[in-house]
Structure 1
Amino acid sequence: MKSQRLTPASFLLAGIIFLLLFGVIAWGVYFESNWIRSFDLSWIERIQGTISEGKTAFIMFMTELGSMKAVIAMTIIICIVLFFKHKFAEGLWFGGTILFCAAIGGKVLKKIVERDRPNFLQLIEKTNESFPSGHATATTIFYGFIGMVLILSVYQIWKKVIISFITLVWIGFILFTRIYLGVHFPTDVLAGFLYGLAAVFISIGVYLLIREPLRQLLQKLHLADQSQAFKRAR
Structure 2
Amino acid sequence: MVSKLKKNYRRYLFLIPLVLFIADYLLIVNGWMKIIDQFVFESLRFFASDQLTEIFKIITNLGSFWGILIVIFLVFLVNRKVSYICLGASIIQTSLNRVIKAIVRRPRPNVDVFIRESNFSFPSGHAMAITCLYGLLIYYLYKSEIRYRKLLIVICVLIIVLVSLSRVYLGVHYFSDIIGGILLSSSLVLYISDIPSCQA
Q: TM-score, normalised by structure 1?
A: 0.74
Larger radius of gyration: 1
Cα displacement (A) at 1:9: 3.7
Structure 1: 4+ residue segments shifted above 6 A: none
Letter in 1 for 2:12: L
Pairing 1:182–2:162 present: no
Indicate the residue corresponding to 1:34 in structure 2.
31
Q: CA–CA distance in 1 between the matches of 2:19 and 2:51?
A: 39
Q: Which amino acid aligns with 1:138?
A: A
In 1, Cα distance between the equivalents of 2:146 and 2:57? Answer: 37
Q: Does 1:170 align with 2:164?
A: no
Residues matched between the structures, number: 195
User: Where does structure 1 lack aligned partners over 5 or more consecutive residues?
Assistant: 1-6, 212-228
2:25–2:180 Cα contact (<8 Å) kept: yes
The Cα shift of 1:93 comes to 2.7
Residue equivalent to 2:3:
none
Q: Distance in 2 between matches of 1:80 and 1:164?
A: 19
Which position in structure 2 is the counterpart of 1:95?
A: 87
Could you give the per-residue CA deviations for residues 188-230 of structure 1, whole angstroms, max 9, x where no partner exists? Answer: 1111111111111111112x2x46xxxxxxxxxxxxxxxxx63
- The offset of 1:133, in angstroms, is 0.6
What percent of counterpart residues are identical? Answer: 27
Cα deviation for residue 75 of structure 1 reads 2.7
1:68 Cα deviation after fit? 3.1
Q: Does the CA contact (< 8 Å) of 2:59 and 2:162 recur in 1?
A: no
In structure 2, C-alpha distance between the alignment counterparts of 1:81 and 1:164, rounded to whole Å? 16
Structure 1 position 74 matched with structure 2 position 74: no
Q: Retained in 2: the 8 A contact 1:124–1:183?
A: yes
CA contact (8 A) 1:76 1:95 kept: no
1:193 to 179, 182, 197: 182
**Unpaired runs of at least 5, structure 2:** 1-5
- Which whole-Å CA distance do the structure 1 matches of 2:14 and 2:152 have between them? 20
76 and 108 in structure 1: CA distance in 2 versus 1, 3 angstrom threshold? farther
TM-score when normalising by structure 2: 0.86
AA paired with 1:179? Answer: V
Q: CA RMSD in A?
A: 2.5
